[in-house]
Structure 1
Amino acid sequence: MQIRYLLALSLLPQLVLAEETPATSNSDTQCIVEPPVPRLTPPENSDGKIDLQEIRIISDRSEAQMGKQAKFNGDVSFSQGGRNIAADEAILDQEAERLDANGNLVFQDQMFTVTADSLTAEMRSNSATLSGAQYWLHGQQIHGDAEKLEITPDNNLHLTKTNFTTCPPEDTSWLLEAETIKIDSKEEWGELWDAKLKIGNVPVLYIPYMTIPVSDKRKSGFLFPTFSTSTTNGVEVATPYYWNIAPDYDLTFTPHYMSARGLFLKSDFRYLAGDAQQGQLNIEYLGNDDMLANSPNRYLYHWEHQGAIDENWRVLANYTDVSDNNYFNDLKSDVQRATDNQLTRIGEVSYFEKNWDFNARVQDIKVLGEDEKPYQVMPQFGFNYRSPDVWKGLDFDFLSEVTNFEHEDSDQATATRLHFEPSISLPLHGPAGSLTSELKLLQTYYWQDDARTNANTELDSSVTRTLPQVRIHGQVNFERFTDYFNENYRQTLEPQFQYLYVGYEDQSNIGIYDTAQLQEDYFGLFRERRFSGLDRVADANQMTLGLTTRLFDSHNVEKFKFSLGQIFYFQDSRVGIADSTFQGETFTQENTSNSVLAAELNTQLYQDWYMSGAIQYDTTESENKKSEVTLDFRPGANKLLQFSYRYVPDLLNSNTNESVNISQAGMRGAWPLNDSLYLVGNWYYDLNESRSVETYAGFQYESCCWAIRLSYHYRIKTNYDEDYNPVLDNRELFESGLYLNFVIKGLGGSGPLGVSDMLNDGLFNYRKPLYLKN
């Protein structure tokens, strides 16, 4: 017979570690250690709600004397709110306001479960003590033992002669033993005194004092160090320190020691500005680089900010500067990769309404290793207006901008450009296809200050350019149901055409401020312009024909896509782009009857095999202008084999101003050797130079409580040659390095290292075939 004993008093303190359970990744979820006892369910009232004050006591037998003692025996259960106690025996001393319980004791809260030999709860001080305790934090991997566990009046947790780990039971991969652990329920962090770290039951580190997280809440402290060695930097040790300054801003400071160069200091300051704006500030500094001649000081400044001021206003800022052109090639920055050679500095503010928007911006681009410097936009104002269905299905658009171009060199021309672009279009869309007819007027005004001293020709001080444009684009959609290899498919056939007419006007009296040649891939065949920017608008009288076919399976998943297209010129284009030196007006004319033949392919060949490729073929000269192909084998998660090849002829080398042919083959792979160990590697080979340009191999082992990665990297070093740069000496052509990353989960580590970042840890990023779904 069970006896229910109801008390209307506060007996047990409540320990709240977090308002909600920290989020975990899929791998962490599989590793969560659950207590060996079932979760107790607090009783509910008739209305389905839990009474936070009422205490319910259920037992097989009880003896009670009013105002003195009450004894409970046999399957004793205490409940108050979200707290529960189960025991074989309990004594409630009402005079001393104390509860004692023992025998198969289980204490549970919303955040943790504790099993213990005995429990004593003091009602006056609202505290409790458990002896011989084992504890588990719900929804996490953290668990451990304690000789004594105390719940303080302010709902904090104190553990004496204790330990904890995130490894599964009976797994002693690592264990942290401490004389005392104090867990703050509000801060959600623990403090450890007189602790030692054991790995495989072997003490490896003594720690007089440290703090640890018990949730995903931020707190200041050291993060895990990284170790590596390379031929250019020597032995490297980085020890990042995280400073949780305030809820809306923090700082990560990383001393990074390189035995061959010196101490490299990096800081990353992040902030929130209100509910919709954020930014970061990075400062990096290496004093007296011992690897280079004259031991120069090297540094980086970076600031970026973006967000919304309100529903209409948006802001954007980005500024980066470095001490020398080879900064990213030599040092591992937190801002950009070694393959990035452009620093964009931009400030922009925009205002948006339903049918119109306005923006103002300034922009400067620094190209590392280039003698020729781009123009600065100081400033640019743009206004755009849209009026869909203004009259009988016609859409009206009006684009405008005024831009002032400045240059760092005083002997270069400067200019102000005013551009208006009104257009009227008639879009017709339906399931069977679409037809869009568009009429534009491109009206541009230039005011130029030709300050060049060595030019063979001078620019006009003012230029007016008026160009009409007509564009008609149509597409027809056909589809049918068919079968291939005993599989049912839906096949589409999507022919499309575009007629484009742009008027001609001599533009040799206009400088080149923001214009460059655009890529001629398949989608580029249907562009309106051959050049970016507005300094050159190529005349056109041409027809583009294209065809796309796709295959969809019975689940409507795209399995195959092939596109083929070409431009046919009715008249030769007479407008080209001037060379970058401004020495005369040398133009690249289109004196052929057609453009390159562009084709693209993306397909799932068979089951887990995928292929993608693209080619641009000159049918007039019978030459391959550009091609690339990749073959992927992806049978499952973290399983990949990729083979690739790319060819680009006549690519201009900015350092030597000579054309080079790029012909490279590569392999990339990621494969699990078992449930915890996997391998990632890549290899790229230059067929023209007959040499390897990059080799990467990495092993990673990951368990529920720790992970380690060992990787080897061999790659070519980019060198931006400058006569005035003092950091060019002693630079090696190739760099090789050995890198070690180690994480103990639950001690502030960054969690699983992952395969995706290993695939991208190199000069060549992994790219999936496009448009296809797994």
Structure 2
Amino acid sequence: MALAWAGLPALAQAQNAAQEPLPSPVLRSSPMLQERIPEDARALQPAYVSGDSIAGQANVRAVIEGNAELRRSDTIVRANRMEYTVADDRLQAEGQVHINRAGNVFDGSRLDLEVEAFRGNFTDASYQFLATQAHGDASEIQFLDRERSIIHNATYTTCRRDDEASWEPDWMLKARSIHLDQGEEVGYARDAQLQFKGVTLLPIPVVSFPLSDKRKSGLLPPTMGLDNLSGFEYTQPYYWNIAPNRDATLSSTLMSKRGVKLGAEFRYLEPTYQGQLQLDYMPGDRLRDRDRWSYGLQHQAQIASPWGGLGLNLNLNRVSDNDYWRDFTRRGTNRLLNNNRLLASDASLSWAGEDSTLMLRTLKWQTLQDVAAPITPPYDRMPQLQWRYTPLNLGHGLDMSIEADTTRFEGDPRLTRQPDAQRSYLAAEISRPFVSPGAFFTPKLKLHASQYQFDDPLSNGMRSASRTLPTVSLDSGLVFERDTQLFGRKLLQTLEPRAFYTYTPYRSQNMLPVYDTALNDFNLATIYSENSYSGQDRFADNNLLTLGLTTRLIDADTGAESARFGVAQRVRFSDQRVTLPGEVPATDRLSDILFGASINWTPQWALDAAVQYNRETGHSERTTVGARYSPGSYRTISAAYRLLRGTSEQVDVGWQWPIRNPWASEEKGREGGRWYSVGRLNYSLQDRRLVDTVVGFEYDSCCWVGRVVLERLQSSLNTSNTRLLFQVEFVGFTRLSLGSNPLQSLQQNIPRYQALRQTTTVPSRFSNYD
């Protein structure tokens, strides 16, 4: 027997509704299908009751005996017997009482509840939450409203319950009371104990924990570890959720060999600007006998103005001394500085119009020197002013750009052995692309004029210099296509020959200092460029023809590129005369041959290879081969071989792979009781030693994850940092770490690593529909 209880809106007897004509087949939205029912719609929802027998007075009171059930909105209540009174919207139920509210389930012996307000008491109850799968038992659950409740004499765990009577969770929080706020998505436990494998780890007078991934203020779990440089470490962080768009993390670290280090990170996000500020300070480092500090600031802002868009960008970084990068490799609050010996302090103010951009920039470097591997400091730009004009609608199919720049270069002449200077240049280019479905042809003309003013005379006595160079290039190619089949797959194969010619006349430039110029890497992208150098201080006297051929295999159904193969070579018509200091001029008429291949035949497999082959010596000058196999979640193996003849030869292997029953199906790590091997090994074949090593094990036990990682990372030619990292993560509660966060180390070092038990989607209340 079932009815929609009278006295509430939108009531209809089931038997009457069956006699009404069917509505026209028009789809209409229904609030009953929404994840969260709006408050105005919730008040209009009827209450449906059913049971073996129903007695009472309409619009006043109902008593349901046997298989009693009440449904309203996203709430269902079942019991052996229940009594409902309309005036105070009160439901009293007893005997195997079951509640399902938006996917959250409660079971107990006796319930007294105001249904719409969801306020009341539930005795001898157990519970399970949909979002985190957390569950437990309580002597009483006190419902304060639809979002808040208090669980008395409670247990709390995310370990999955089995059918055995002797089941005990691997970890459990026991507390005198647990306050749960589903609206704020946070829980508070009082007089609590955290137990793991039956052993009490921490007695906790008061503790808060998240009920989701939402941010909240509070103490973060401490970090402890052993380090070969700093000794025993203990770090206590505190997270401050200032506002939805601002937060801060404060930390203090005790190092047995050094002292105390303080750190802070502040982040902000506004409609027109965003950024972060990071600070570290260690007073009286006993290892170096001095104060240590670092700071980093990143700020990006967009400013609307009547003259166009204005932008302000700041990237400021500084440390106290040359040893900072070595002593604090890949750790600490300031992630901008970790393991970096060139620290930039860069500030720029930019303006962008319809066709033009203008930028004012200052750039100052801090170079952290190592006696065993010194670095020549780059030049500071104090300041740089640049204007660029690129008309969008030039007409006649023409493309044009003009760039004007003046930069003040400052450095230490004792290290750079060059005078400071003011360099100004004007660069203009115009091209006319001719494009058809099967071919393209692009002639281009470039002109570059530069002027130098030196603070001190050069070795030949010059205090100024100028240079004007034209460059002509012709880029052309064809595209042929045909349908084919390979291994049963329908494919579209292309054949794309390309010819690129460039000519720049010779102008003597060997007496000009070098401020921002370097030799371009020789690869399949730069081989089709007009200049062999980056920067503005050298323009190669090129008289080159580059010939290349590319073929691609494209899946006919999806349009995805399954494979690509390419080859290219340069033909030099005259000897190179313009060089950088110490560079040997190129005189060979034919360059090394470049080969490239990329294969992504299936989403699981990937292969990339690049070879620079010297036809005279008969071997490759440079080889890079990489392969990856990722058949599913938490399964990935990658390997790479890199050869730079005469300089280095390395093998790099990374992996994350289950050990027990590795071929069993698994959906996003939800299967518990499994070991994983993780690691990355970088081995130098030339030196016959490991350069970087990260190896360890992970254990996924349904409701907790354990990690043990040994990390040895090279910090310089002769030194390395070694750390032992250990972490226990209680799923849905917190993390306790030994070491400087092994999860972060695995994510940084292992390609395509996935964190176990990482939540990707919020479950729907309909996934636990009752």
Question: TM-score normalised by the shorter chain: which range applies?
Answer: 0.7 to 0.9
Aligned equivalents of 1:493, 1:97: Cα separation in 2: 76
* Counterpart AA for 1:499: Y
Task: Specify whether residues 186 and 640 from structure 1 end up closer, same or farther in structure 2 by C-alpha distance, changes over 3 A only.
Answer: closer
Aligned equivalents of 1:51, 1:629: Cα separation in 2: 61
Q: Is the 8 A contact 1:197 1:204 kept in 2?
A: yes
Task: Specify whether residues 546 and 134 from structure 1 end up closer, same or farther in structure 2 by C-alpha distance, changes over 3 A only.
Answer: same
Cross-structure match for 1:668: 654
Give per-residue Cα distances to partners, 1:34-90, cap 9 Å, x unaligned.
xxxxxx9799xxxxx945156525244444369986533344444554444333323
* Counterpart AA for 1:134: S
Give 1:697 deviation, angstroms.
Answer: 1.3
Aligned equivalents of 2:683, 2:320: Cα separation in 1: 32
Aligned equivalents of 1:614, 1:3: Cα separation in 2: 74
Give per-residue Cα distances to partners, 1:555-583, cap 9 Å, x unaligned.
4443432222122222223221236xxxx
What TM-score does the superposition give when structure 1 sets the normalisation length? 0.81
* Counterpart AA for 2:550: T
Task: Specify whether residues 759 and 457 from structure 1 end up closer, same or farther in structure 2 by C-alpha distance, changes over 3 A only.
Answer: farther
Instruction: Determine which of 290, 296, 301 is the counterpart of 2:295.
Output: 301
Give 1:743 deviation, angstroms.
Answer: 1.0
Q: Is the 8 A contact 2:562 2:602 kept in 1?
A: no
Instruction: Determine which of 262, 277, 285 is the counterpart of 2:281.
Output: 285
Q: Is the 8 A contact 1:6 1:54 kept in 2?
A: no
Give 1:610 deviation, angstroms.
Answer: 4.5
* Counterpart AA for 2:140: K
Q: Is the 8 A contact 1:53 1:81 kept in 2?
A: no
Give 1:429 deviation, angstroms.
Answer: 1.7
Q: Percent of pairs identical after alignment?
A: 29
SS of the residue 1:398 aligns to: strand
Q: Is the 8 A contact 1:564 1:599 kept in 2?
A: yes
SS of the residue 2:681 aligns to: strand
SS of the residue 1:743 aligns to: strand
Aligned equivalents of 1:153, 1:756: Cα separation in 2: 38
Deviates more, 1:540-549 or 1:263-272: 263-272
Cross-structure match for 2:210: 213
Cross-structure match for 1:34: none
Give per-residue Cα distances to partners, 1:372-412, cap 9 Å, x unaligned.
32111122222222234523222222222222222355985
Task: Specify whether residues 56 and 540 from structure 1 end up closer, same or farther in structure 2 by C-alpha distance, changes over 3 A only.
Answer: same
Q: Is the 8 A contact 1:366 1:374 kept in 2?
A: no
Cross-structure match for 2:152: 160
Q: Is the 8 A contact 1:759 1:766 kept in 2?
A: no
Give 1:211 deviation, angstroms.
Answer: 0.8
Cross-structure match for 2:477: 475
Give per-residue Cα distances to partners, 1:501-524, cap 9 Å, x unaligned.
123322244322111111111211
Task: Specify whether residues 145 and 307 from structure 1 end up closer, same or farther in structure 2 by C-alpha distance, changes over 3 A only.
Answer: farther
Q: Is the 8 A contact 1:53 1:80 kept in 2?
A: no
SS of the residue 2:390 aligns to: strand
Aligned equivalents of 2:189, 2:117: Cα separation in 1: 25
Cross-structure match for 1:378: 382
Task: Specify whether residues 41 and 497 from structure 1 end up closer, same or farther in structure 2 by C-alpha distance, changes over 3 A only.
Answer: closer
Aligned equivalents of 2:548, 2:123: Cα separation in 1: 79
Give 1:302 deviation, angstroms.
Answer: 0.8
Aligned equivalents of 1:477, 1:750: Cα separation in 2: 58
Aligned equivalents of 1:95, 1:765: Cα separation in 2: 63
Alignment of 1:577-592 (within 5 A): 577-578=580-581, 588-592=584-588
Cross-structure match for 1:570: 573
Give 1:713 deviation, angstroms.
Answer: 2.3
Give 1:759 deviation, angstroms.
Answer: 5.4
* Counterpart AA for 2:390: R
Aligned equivalents of 2:424, 2:485: Cα separation in 1: 57
* Counterpart AA for 2:141: L
* Counterpart AA for 1:531: Y
Cross-structure match for 2:340: 340
Aligned equivalents of 2:634, 2:541: Cα separation in 1: 50
Over aligned residue pairs, what C-alpha RMSD do you find? 3.5
Cross-structure match for 2:701: 703
Instruction: Determine which of 423, 426, 429 is the counterpart of 2:432.
Output: 426
Task: Specify whether residues 367 and 754 from structure 1 end up closer, same or farther in structure 2 by C-alpha distance, changes over 3 A only.
Answer: closer
* Counterpart AA for 2:302: A
Q: Is the 8 A contact 1:424 1:438 kept in 2?
A: yes
* Counterpart AA for 1:696: V
Q: Is the 8 A contact 1:279 1:303 kept in 2?
A: yes
Please say if 1:324 is aligned against 2:328.
Answer: no
* Counterpart AA for 1:234: G
Alignment of 1:206-605 (within 5 A): 206-272=203-269, 274-290=270-286, 292=287, 294-310=288-304, 312-331=309-328, 332-333=331-332, 334-336=334-336, 339-369=339-369, 370=374, 372-388=376-392, 390-407=394-411, 413-450=419-456, 456-458=459-461, 460-483=462-485, 489-555=491-557, 556-578=559-581, 588-603=584-599
Give 1:337 deviation, angstroms.
Answer: 7.4
SS of the residue 2:526 aligns to: helix
Task: Specify whether residues 156 and 667 from structure 1 end up closer, same or farther in structure 2 by C-alpha distance, changes over 3 A only.
Answer: closer
Task: Specify whether residues 393 and 312 from structure 1 end up closer, same or farther in structure 2 by C-alpha distance, changes over 3 A only.
Answer: same
Task: Specify whether residues 668 and 697 from structure 1 end up closer, same or farther in structure 2 by C-alpha distance, changes over 3 A only.
Answer: same
Deviates more, 1:357-366 or 1:541-550: 357-366
Unaligned stretches of 5+ in structure 2? 10-30, 35-39, 163-167, 661-670, 754-770
What TM-score does the superposition give when structure 2 sets the normalisation length? 0.81
Give 1:485 deviation, angstroms.
Answer: 5.8
Cross-structure match for 2:7: 7
Please say if 1:130 is aligned against 2:130.
Answer: no
Task: Specify whether residues 134 and 766 from structure 1 end up closer, same or farther in structure 2 by C-alpha distance, changes over 3 A only.
Answer: closer
Aligned equivalents of 2:262, 2:203: Cα separation in 1: 27
Task: Specify whether residues 566 and 338 from structure 1 end up closer, same or farther in structure 2 by C-alpha distance, changes over 3 A only.
Answer: farther
Cross-structure match for 2:79: 87
Q: Is the 8 A contact 1:42 1:79 kept in 2?
A: no
Task: Specify whether residues 501 and 76 from structure 1 end up closer, same or farther in structure 2 by C-alpha distance, changes over 3 A only.
Answer: same
SS of the residue 1:329 aligns to: helix
Task: Specify whether residues 183 and 232 from structure 1 end up closer, same or farther in structure 2 by C-alpha distance, changes over 3 A only.
Answer: same
Please say if 1:180 is aligned against 2:177.
Answer: yes
Give 1:319 deviation, angstroms.
Answer: 1.3
Count of matched residue positions in the alignment of Structure 1 and Structure 2: 694
* Counterpart AA for 2:99: F
Task: Specify whether residues 601 and 276 from structure 1 end up closer, same or farther in structure 2 by C-alpha distance, changes over 3 A only.
Answer: same
Deviates more, 1:641-650 or 1:407-416: 407-416
Please say if 1:739 is aligned against 2:733.
Answer: no
Give per-residue Cα distances to partners, 1:248-272, cap 9 Å, x unaligned.
2111123333333333333221111
Task: Specify whether residues 53 and 638 from structure 1 end up closer, same or farther in structure 2 by C-alpha distance, changes over 3 A only.
Answer: closer
SS of the residue 1:239 aligns to: strand
SS of the residue 1:535 aligns to: coil
Unaligned stretches of 5+ in structure 1? 10-39, 44-48, 580-586, 651-660, 720-731, 768-774
Q: Is the 8 A contact 1:226 1:740 kept in 2?
A: no
SS of the residue 1:525 aligns to: helix
Give per-residue Cα distances to partners, 1:718-737, cap 9 Å, x unaligned.
15xxxxxxxxxxxx734433
SS of the residue 2:194 aligns to: strand
Task: Specify whether residues 760 and 621 from structure 1 end up closer, same or farther in structure 2 by C-alpha distance, changes over 3 A only.
Answer: farther
SS of the residue 2:446 aligns to: strand
Task: Specify whether residues 219 and 611 from structure 1 end up closer, same or farther in structure 2 by C-alpha distance, changes over 3 A only.
Answer: closer
Aligned equivalents of 2:601, 2:46: Cα separation in 1: 66
Task: Specify whether residues 697 and 8 from structure 1 end up closer, same or farther in structure 2 by C-alpha distance, changes over 3 A only.
Answer: same
Aligned equivalents of 1:574, 1:337: Cα separation in 2: 40
* Counterpart AA for 1:140: T
